[in-house]
Amino acid sequence: MSSKESPETGPRPVSGKEEGGKTIRIYVMGRAYEVPEGLTILKALEYAGFRLTRGVGCRGGFCGACAVMYRMPGEYKLRTALACQTLARDGMHLVFIPYAPMKKPRYDIEKLRPDAGSVIAIFPEVTRCLACNACTKACPQGLQVMDAIQAIIRGDIAAAANLAFDCIGCGLCSIRCPAEIRHVYVFQLVRRLYGKYMLPKAKHVEERIKEIEAGKYDEEMEKLMKLSLEELKRLYMSRDIEKA
Ligand code: SF4
Ligand code: SF4
């Protein structure tokens, strides 16, 4: 999140009253802001004048960019949430966690096997899991994060991949993890291993790849490449959309 102040207004420590509705007071990195009741944390911050250039993405709970930590008055518990999915509440003290620094591994998936050894060779920290469950409690997706890590240790890559299927990569579990496990990357790897080595091959995809390689769509692609931006937009808007 950028707290850069806009040239005209800047963040508004006291605001909201002009709307005439009920307001609540939230604290962002220790500073108080008055905002209308009923907004998500993300909208409350924008209402307060923050320009969100980092720590915001899809606004729909899928991209994992708007992770926050907060504490309610009188509570010992440090809570985690996605700002776009969580209502701002009166007295909330919060801080944005737009990014959890962690080293990105490099590996060649062709040289790996779907087993514990392959994962642990790249992520040795997995074996340090204390089974404290702090990761599960931190997960805004409600995933059984600890169980996924334990499944890897047991060598059950399919279970780990399925348990971590809905991970959105927010990094909140890693921030709480005393074993300093890089869950986002660990889960990415187990899903890749599962998809590559354990799931049945998707025949229709293989066939489509062959068609592409044989040049079946080259002419159509060339036509598309020559269209203007406006023409592309029109084409996109008039496309057939699969019924839900
Ligand atoms: S498993 Fe971790 S990184 Fe993935 S969504 Fe849950 S808290 Fe975020
Ligand atoms: S927070 Fe870390 S150490 Fe604790 S259960 Fe989760 S993965 Fe294991």
Residue 143's CATH number:
1.10.1060.10
How far, in Å, CA of 24 to CA of 89, rounded? 7
Contacts of 145 (CB under 8 A, 6+ apart): 135, 136, 138, 139, 163, 164, 173, 183
Q: Under a CB-based contact definition with an 8 Å cutoff, are residues 72 and 91 in contact? A: yes
What separation in Å is there between the alpha carbon of 130 and the centre of ligand 2?
6
Q: Is residue 4 part of a domain?
A: no
Q: Is residue 104 part of a domain?
A: no
Residue 6 pLDDT exceeds 70: no
How far, in Å, CA of 172 to CA of 163, rounded? 17
Same domain, 172 and 187: yes
Query: What pLDDT, in 10s, does the model give residues 166-191?
Result: 999 999 999 999 999 999 999 999 99
Q: Is residue 238 part of a domain?
A: no
Q: Is residue 239 part of a domain?
A: no
Please choose from 127, 128, 146 the residue to mutate so as to test ligand 2's pocket, defined by most ligand atoms within 8 A of CB. Answer: 146
Same domain, 92 and 134: no
CA 78-170-39 angle, 5° bins: 65
Same domain, 62 and 88: yes
Cβ of 131 closer than 6 Å to ligand 2, yes or no, is: yes
User: What is the CATH number for 27?
Assistant: 3.10.20.30
- Band of pLDDT at residue 114, cut at 50, 70 and 90: very high
Same domain, 137 and 66: no
What separation in Å is there between the alpha carbon of 102 and the centre of ligand 2?
16
Q: Which of 75, 96, 117 is the last residue of a domain?
A: 96
- Band of pLDDT at residue 38, cut at 50, 70 and 90: very high
Same domain, 141 and 219: no
**b/e 99-128 (16+ beta carbons within 10 angstroms → b):** ebeeeeeeeeeeebebebebbbebbebbee
Same domain, 211 and 193: no
| Model pLDDT, residue 1 | 47
What's the total number of domains in the chain?
Answer: 3
Residue 151 pLDDT exceeds 60: yes
Residue 242 pLDDT exceeds 60: yes
| Model pLDDT, residue 121 | 97
Q: Which of 46, 73, 96 is the last residue of a domain?
A: 96
Q: Under a CB-based contact definition with an 8 Å cutoff, are residues 123 and 105 in contact? A: yes
- What is the pTM assigned to this prediction? 0.81
Q: Which of 96, 126, 154 is the last residue of a domain?
A: 96
| Model pLDDT, residue 13 | 56
What is the pLDDT averaged over residues 116-141? 97
* Residues across the chain: 244
Same domain, 168 and 208: no
Q: Is 31 exposed, middle or buried (0-12, 13-18, 19+ CB in 10 A)?
A: exposed
In which domain, by residue range, is 86 found? 17-96
SS3 at position 243 = coil
Mean pLDDT of the chain: 91
How far, in Å, CA of 167 to CA of 161, rounded? 10
- Band of pLDDT at residue 7, cut at 50, 70 and 90: very low
| Model pLDDT, residue 47 | 95
> Which of residues 84 and 241 earns the better pLDDT score?
84
Q: Is residue 92 part of a domain?
A: yes
Same domain, 41 and 89: yes
Beta-sheet strands, E only, within the chain: 23-28, 31-36, 67-71, 79-82, 93-96
Query: What pLDDT, in 10s, does the model give residues 197-215?
Result: 999 988 999 999 999 999 9
Residue 217 pLDDT exceeds 90: yes
Q: Is residue 133 part of a domain?
A: yes
| Model pLDDT, residue 243 | 67
What separation in Å is there between the alpha carbon of 2 and the centre of ligand 1?
23
Residue 9 pLDDT exceeds 50: no
Query: What pLDDT, in 10s, does the model give residues 60-110?
Result: 999 999 999 999 999 999 999 999 999 999 999 999 998 889 999 999 999
SS3 at position 204 = helix
Same domain, 186 and 127: yes
Same domain, 190 and 210: no
What is the pLDDT averaged over residues 213-223? 96
| Model pLDDT, residue 244 | 60
Measuring CA to CA, which residue among 4, 38, 193, 204 is closest to residue 116?
193
Q: Is residue 126 part of a domain?
A: yes
Q: Is residue 243 part of a domain?
A: no
Ligand nearest to the CA of 191: 1
